[in-house]
């Protein structure tokens, strides 16, 4: 087999995910490899250090790279994540619901959603089909201190320091054969204005490769600046365009526990992430600059934290919601922010880099003859997944019942709901979602809309939601967590409905969990050696 050369431009999480994964996935024999990988990273560009929440697909990534879980968690200050808790999204009343990773499926037919809709709804929907929301509220880990003894394991992901994650991947990838060059790219040579032929650096090196991966963030130095691939803007559906971020160190601000879930709390003009790590919490107020100034957004973020935060620095991260018209053009592939971005309400930040890398390994061109066919399929997959995420995030906003600010009034307007999602919601007024809804993804109401999502220059087809990331169960979680179509169900089933029954398996699991699963921070302390901090005070609005 002919040796292929890959050049990755840009480090950070995206660059090192690509380097580490491709090195292992494409080179079974390690250093005696068929694919030679070089990563060029600027020593002058500052890196954004924020807490990062992930989804369970990250565990596949780590397994392929051959990473020990405990070592990874120690190196990146990682903690467990079992759910996302949404607070104040329906109304501004401190109410909440969970989107957990584990769910019980009744056999042989699961009518959990329909049973809940016909009931008195005295228990939140997800607590009737998953034990994980209560396990999260109890602050328990997803693992025991010894061998697991509770039947089916709990599904989980991680919170981590993204910058330390990039450094960790670098430190294991270089000894495995990835060449690391610290230099600035000064020039890019093109062949027939369609393909990159070489990259030049300020250290005098000329890097020639068969495939070039653009991990340069929003600058998109290769895919946009040189190959001139355009950007599809989707800010009409998601209005937030910046985030004020801050780290809350445990030395002075330990709240007495480490939440085993991510918190997304709706504020006046957006929402705030709250991500716990082993040494600090990372918070960030994702908001719309059209509705609130940076100064007022920072005041609101600090009020959310409460206590003495004057000594804590904040920074503003600016972003744009959208996707590249093509993620793969010629012999250049955009991965990470250079390929697209959607606000991380469902923790899809690292996932998009993960997806782009895994899909590239599956479509890797071992000859130049494969390049065009592989690029076409790759672009289609990334396009479909982007719109799947767009629909799902858009849904969180448009289902709110808040009217306390102009921002929350605006996101509910029909023109702020993308047509694909609108068609789904219209259909789901008739019945709860099912697997069948993702077989074709064309609903009656779509005949009323003209779809103009993708650039006609590249792919004429409407994107398809394949439920590769979120199936009908995840849609049910958000729909009924936010009381979708509740007025119509009140008319249909009346106000005096039957009492709700929780699956006996869930009750048994919760009883056993209380006795056998340790608190999250105790597990982190005993297994990973997390430092024990004295409790300072709990942030404003803190609910364990």
Task: List residues with catalytic annotation.
Answer: 81
Q: Burial, 367: exposed, middle or buried (Cβ in 10 Å; 0-12, 13-18, 19+)?
A: exposed
Terminus-to-terminus CA distance in the chain, angstroms? Answer: 56
3-state class (DSSP) for residue 110: coil
Beta bridge partners of 409: none
Which helix or strand (DSSP H or E) is residue 419 part of? helix 419-427
- Tokens read off for 27: 């080179």
Residues 58 and 351: their CA atoms lie apart, in Å, by 7
- Contact status, residue 475 vs residue 451, Cβ threshold 8 Å: no
State the alpha helices, DSSP H only, in 428-495: 472-481, 486-493
Q: What is the DSSP secondary-structure string of 410-447?
A: HTTSGGGS-HHHHHHHHHTTTS---GGGGTS---GGGG
Pairing of strands 332-334, 340-341: unpaired
Beta bridge partners of 231: 324
- Contact status, residue 431 vs residue 488, Cβ threshold 8 Å: no
Taking every pair of Cα atoms in the chain, the longest distance, rounded to a whole number of angstroms, is 77
Residues 128 and 125: their CA atoms lie apart, in Å, by 5
Which helix or strand (DSSP H or E) is residue 41 part of? strand 35-41
3-state class (DSSP) for residue 12: helix
- Tokens read off for 389: 């995420």
3-state class (DSSP) for residue 381: helix
Q: Burial, 200: exposed, middle or buried (Cβ in 10 Å; 0-12, 13-18, 19+)?
A: middle
Residues 11 and 214: their CA atoms lie apart, in Å, by 10
């Amino acid at each position: 087999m002919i040796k292929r050369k890959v050049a990755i431009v840009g480090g950070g999480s995206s660059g090192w995910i690509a380097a580490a994964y491709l090195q292992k996935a494409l080179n079974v024999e390690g250093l005696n490899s068929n694919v030679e990988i070089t990563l060029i990273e600027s020593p002058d560009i500052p890196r954004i250090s924020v807490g990062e929440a992930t989804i369970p697909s990250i565990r596949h990534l780590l397994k392929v790279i051959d990473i020990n879980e405990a070592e990874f968690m120690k190196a990146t200050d990682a903690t467990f994540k079992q759910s996302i808790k949404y607070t104040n999204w329906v109304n501004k009343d401190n109410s909440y619901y969970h989107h957990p990773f584990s769910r019980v499926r009744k056999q042989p037919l699961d009518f959990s959603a329909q049973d809940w809709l016909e009931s008195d709804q005295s228990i939140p929907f997800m607590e009737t089909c998953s034990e994980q929301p209560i396990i999260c509220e109890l602050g328990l880990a997803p693992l025991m201190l010894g061998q697991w003894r509770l039947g089916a394991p709990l599904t989980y992901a991680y919170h981590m320091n993204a910058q330390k994650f990039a450094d960790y991947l670098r430190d294991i990838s270089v000894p495995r054969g990835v060449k690391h060059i610290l230099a600035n790219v000064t020039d890019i040579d093109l062949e027939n204005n369609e393909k990159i032929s070489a990259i030049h650096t300020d250290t005098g090196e000329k890097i020639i490769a068969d495939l070039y991966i653009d991990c340069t963030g929003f600058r998109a130095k290769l895919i946009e600046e040189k190959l001139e691939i355009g950007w599809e803007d989707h800010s009409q559906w998601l209005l937030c365009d910046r985030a004020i971020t801050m780290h809350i160190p445990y030395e002075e601000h330990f709240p007495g526990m480490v939440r085993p879930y991510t918190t997304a709390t709706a504020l006046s003009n957006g929402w705030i992430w709250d991500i716990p790590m082993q040494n600090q919490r990372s918070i960030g107020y994702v908001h719309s600059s059209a509705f609130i100034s940076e100064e007022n957004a920072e005041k609101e973020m600090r009020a959310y934290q409460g206590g003495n935060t004057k000594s804590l620095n904040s920074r503003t991260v600016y972003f744009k919601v959208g996707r590249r018209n093509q993620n793969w053009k010629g012999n250049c592939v955009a991965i990470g922010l250079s390929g697209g971005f959607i606000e991380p309400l469902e923790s899809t930040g690292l996932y998009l880099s993960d997806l782009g890398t895994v899909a590239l390994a599956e479509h890797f061109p071992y000859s130049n003859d494969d390049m065009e066919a592989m690029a076409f399929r790759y672009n289609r997959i990334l396009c479909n997944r982007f719109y799947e995420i767009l629909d799902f995030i858009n849904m969180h906003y448009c289902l709110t019942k808040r009217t306390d600010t102009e921002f929350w009034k605006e996101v509910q307007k029909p023109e702020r709901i993308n047509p694909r999602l609108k068609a789904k919601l219209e259909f789901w007024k008739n019945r709860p979602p099912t697997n069948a809804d993702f077989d074709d993804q064309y609903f009656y109401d779509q005949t009323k809309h003209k779809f103009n999502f993708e650039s006609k220059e590249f792919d004429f087809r409407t994107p398809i939601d394949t439920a590769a990331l979120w199936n009908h169960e995840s849609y049910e979680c958000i729909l009924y967590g936010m009381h979708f179509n509740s007025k119509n169900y009140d008319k249909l089933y009346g106000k005096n409905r039957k009492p709700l029954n929780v699956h006996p398996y869930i009750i048994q699991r919760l009883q056993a969990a209380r006795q056998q699963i340790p608190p999250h921070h105790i597990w982190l302390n005993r297994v990973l050696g997390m430092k024990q901090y004295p409790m300072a005070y709990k942030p404003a609005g803190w609910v364990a």
